[in-house]
């Protein structure tokens, strides 16, 4: 396969024209035409022999083709029917294509073929964080995931407690994974060039991460961040955690772990928030 098939706006325009395709803005189609960045992404993913890799939004296959080795199984999730036709033409049986909206299709795939070893995606700007949230909710982060998304979203993913980027989303991402920025990617690396800067972010699953759905943990986090300027106590008193477990239990739990609820929730580290959650849930067991 010609390695340079996707390396310039002219080649992308040619591929589109030859195949009777048009760009679909609603699907966030910004194709990564810079091969150096594609290589960085794949190096961060570090595929190993025997891996099963999932790719969200392969587009024309610019990153996909770097993954193709005899002993690596690749499953891609693509929503655009025109691009699916092109992917079939370019890669034939070498990849498995799951057609449709990733948000709808991945739970079934997870049931059918289990957790992949690696996951990657140059995600649409508008839905990237929704996809990551859905993966977190389903506890579907494999050992390594590499996402390319809007720089601000990447910053929120990796933010530490107390910083202005620290949010519910930071805790959602960091609950089970270590999050690190790999690189920034300027608009000219894509066609069409987006107005925003992108970042590539790697999520590495923590060895001792909680397994299974954690609805109550996420509810507690939402309560803590309900109003950033209020103390944790004020937010929690009005929140869903208090409705479910009772304010008294929250108070007892916090004093057992010496967590001062007069602090703002946004200053609680992941470890403190998890300790509070564990103590509230444990409290209810006795």
Binding site for ligand SAM (CB under 6 A): 27-32, 56-59, 62-63, 77-80, 83, 101-103, 122, 124, 127
Residue 125 region by backbone torsions, left for phi larger than 0, else alpha for psi between -120 and 50, else beta: alpha
Q: If you ran DSSP here, which 8-state letter would residue 214 be given?
A: -
Task: For the CB of residue 36, give the shortest distance to ligand SAM in the complex, in Å.
Answer: 13
Choice between 89 and 178, CB closer to ligand SAM: 89
As a 3-state breakdown, the chain gives helix, strand, coil percent values, each rounded to 5, of 45, 15, 35
Choice between 30 and 145, CB closer to ligand SAM: 30
Tokens of 138: 């389903």
Choice between 127 and 145, CB closer to ligand SAM: 127
Task: For the CB of residue 177, give the shortest distance to ligand SAM in the complex, in Å.
Answer: 21
Choice between 48 and 130, CB closer to ligand SAM: 130
CA 113 to chain centre: 20
Choice between 102 and 277, CB closer to ligand SAM: 102
Task: For the CB of residue 33, give the shortest distance to ligand SAM in the complex, in Å.
Answer: 7
Task: For the CB of residue 125, give the shortest distance to ligand SAM in the complex, in Å.
Answer: 8
DSSP string, 129-156: HHHHHHHHHTT---SEEEEEEEHHHHHH
Contact 83, 59 (CB under 8 A): yes
CA 130 to chain centre: 8
Task: For the CB of residue 39, give the shortest distance to ligand SAM in the complex, in Å.
Answer: 13
Instruction: Tokens 């594609």: give the residue.
Output: 38
Choice between 63 and 275, CB closer to ligand SAM: 63
C-alpha–C-alpha distance, residues 37 and 52, integer Å: 22
Sequence-distant (6+) residues with CB within 8 A of 285 are none
| CB-count exposure of residue 6 (10 Å: 0-12, 13-18, 19+) | buried
Task: For the CB of residue 59, give the shortest distance to ligand SAM in the complex, in Å.
Answer: 3
Which residue is closest to ligand SAM by CB? Answer: 57
Contact 85, 22 (CB under 8 A): no
Task: For the CB of residue 207, give the shortest distance to ligand SAM in the complex, in Å.
Answer: 30
Choice between 63 and 67, CB closer to ligand SAM: 63
């Amino acid at each position: 396969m010609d390695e340079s098939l996707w390396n310039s706006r002219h080649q992308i325009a040619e591929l589109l024209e030859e195949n009777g395709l048009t760009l679909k803005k609603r699907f966030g189609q910004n194709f990564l035409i810079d091969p150096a960045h594609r290589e960085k992404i794949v190096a961060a993913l570090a595929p190993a022999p025997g891996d099963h890799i999932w790719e969200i939004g392969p587009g024309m296959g610019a990153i996909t083709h770097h993954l193709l080795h005899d002993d690596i199984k690749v499953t891609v999730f693509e929503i655009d029917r025109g691009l699916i036709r092109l992917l079939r033409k370019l890669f034939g049986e070498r990849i498995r294509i799951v057609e449709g909206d990733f948000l709808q299709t991945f739970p079934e795939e997870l049931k059918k073929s289990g957790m992949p070893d690696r996951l990657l995606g140059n995600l649409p700007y508008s839905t990237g964080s929704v996809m990551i949230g859905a993966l977190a909710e389903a506890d579907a982060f494999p050992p390594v995931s590499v996402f390319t998304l809007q720089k601000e979203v990447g910053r929120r993913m990796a933010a530490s407690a107390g910083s202005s980027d620290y949010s519910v989303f930071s805790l959602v991402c960091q609950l089970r994974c270590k999050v690190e920025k790999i690189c920034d990617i300027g608009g000219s690396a894509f066609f069409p060039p987006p107005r925003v800067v992108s970042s590539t972010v790697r999520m590495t699953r923590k060895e001792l991460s909680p397994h299974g759905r954690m609805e109550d943990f996420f509810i507690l986090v939402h309560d803590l961040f309900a109003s950033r300027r209020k103390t944790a106590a004020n937010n929690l008193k009005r929140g869903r955690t208090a409705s479910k477990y009772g304010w008294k239990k929250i108070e007892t739990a916090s004093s057992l772990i010496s967590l001062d609820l007069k602090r703002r929730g946004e200053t609680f580290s992941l470890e403190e928030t998890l300790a509070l959650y564990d103590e509230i849930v444990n409290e209810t067991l006795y």
